[in-house]
Amino acid sequence: MHSLTQRGLRRKLPVPADWRGTASKKPTGLSCLNFSSNDYLGLSSRRELVEASERALRELGAGSGASRLVSGNLPVHVRLEERLAAFKGTEAALCFSSGYAAAMGTIPALVSRDDIVIMDKLSHACLVDAARLSGAVLRVFPHNDMQKLERLLRWSRTKRRVGSTVLVVTESVFSMDGDVAPLLEIVKLAEEHDAMMMVDEAHGMGVLGPRGRGLAAELGLTGRIAVHMGTLSKAFGSAGGYIAGSALLVDLLINSARSFIYSTAPPPAVVAAALAAVDLVDSMEGEKLIQSLHQNIALFERLCGRASRTFPTPILPVIVGGEGAAVEAARVLLDLHGLLLPAIRYPTVARGRARLRVSLRADHTPSDIGKLVEGLAALNLL
Ligand SMILES: *Cc1c(COP(=O)(O)O)cnc(C)c1O
Among 175, 176, 199, 263, say which to mutate for ligand 1: greatest number of ligand atoms within 8 Å of CB. Answer: 175
Q: Which residues line ligand 1 (CB under 6 A)?
A: 98-100, 124, 126, 171, 175, 200, 202-203, 231, 233, 241
Atom 6, ligand 1: which residue's CA is nearest? Answer: 99
Atom 3, ligand 1: which residue's CA is nearest? Answer: 99
What integer pLDDT is reported at residue 24 of this predicted model?
Answer: 79
Are 358 and 382 spatial neighbours (Cβ–Cβ below 8 Å)?
no
Distance 103 CA to ligand 1 centre (A): 9
Q: For residue 56, how many other CB atoms are within 10 A of its CB?
A: 22
The β-bridge relationship of strands 137-141 and 116-120 is: parallel
Q: For residue 124, which atom of ligand 1 is closest to its CA?
A: 13
Q: Is 188 exposed, middle or buried (0-12, 13-18, 19+ CB in 10 A)?
A: middle
Q: For residue 123, which atom of ligand 1 is closest to its CA?
A: 13
Q: For residue 239, which atom of ligand 1 is closest to its CA?
A: 7
Rounded to whole angstroms, the Cα distance separating 319 from 298 reads: 19
Please give the positions annotated as active site: 38, 124, 171, 175, 200, 203, 234
Written as one string, the DSSP assignment of 323-354 is: HHHHHHHHHHHHHHH-EE--EE-TTTS-TT-E
Among 39, 44, 233, say which to mutate for ligand 1: greatest number of ligand atoms within 8 Å of CB. Answer: 233
Are 242 and 96 spatial neighbours (Cβ–Cβ below 8 Å)?
yes
Q: What is the pLDDT along the chain (382 residues), one digit of tens a residue?
A: 778 877 767 778 877 777 778 887 766 666 889 999 999 999 999 999 999 999 999 999 999 999 999 999 999 999 999 999 999 999 999 999 999 999 999 999 999 999 999 999 999 999 999 999 999 999 999 999 999 999 999 999 999 889 999 999 999 999 999 999 999 999 999 999 999 999 999 999 999 999 999 999 999 999 999 999 999 999 999 999 999 999 999 999 999 999 999 999 999 999 999 999 999 999 999 999 999 999 999 999 999 999 999 999 999 999 999 999 999 999 999 999 999 998 999 988 889 999 999 999 999 999 999 999 999 999 999 8
pTM equals 0.96
Rounded to whole angstroms, the Cα distance separating 73 from 52 reads: 18
Atom 4, ligand 1: which residue's CA is nearest? Answer: 99
Backbone torsions φ then ψ of 243, nearest 5 degrees: -125, 135
What integer pLDDT is reported at residue 23 of this predicted model?
Answer: 86
Distance 98 CA to ligand 1 centre (A): 8
Q: What residues does 137 pair with on adjacent strands?
A: 116
Whether the ω angle into residue 347 lies within 30 degrees of 0, i.e. cis, is yes
Rounded to whole angstroms, the Cα distance separating 96 from 100 reads: 9
Are 356 and 326 spatial neighbours (Cβ–Cβ below 8 Å)?
yes
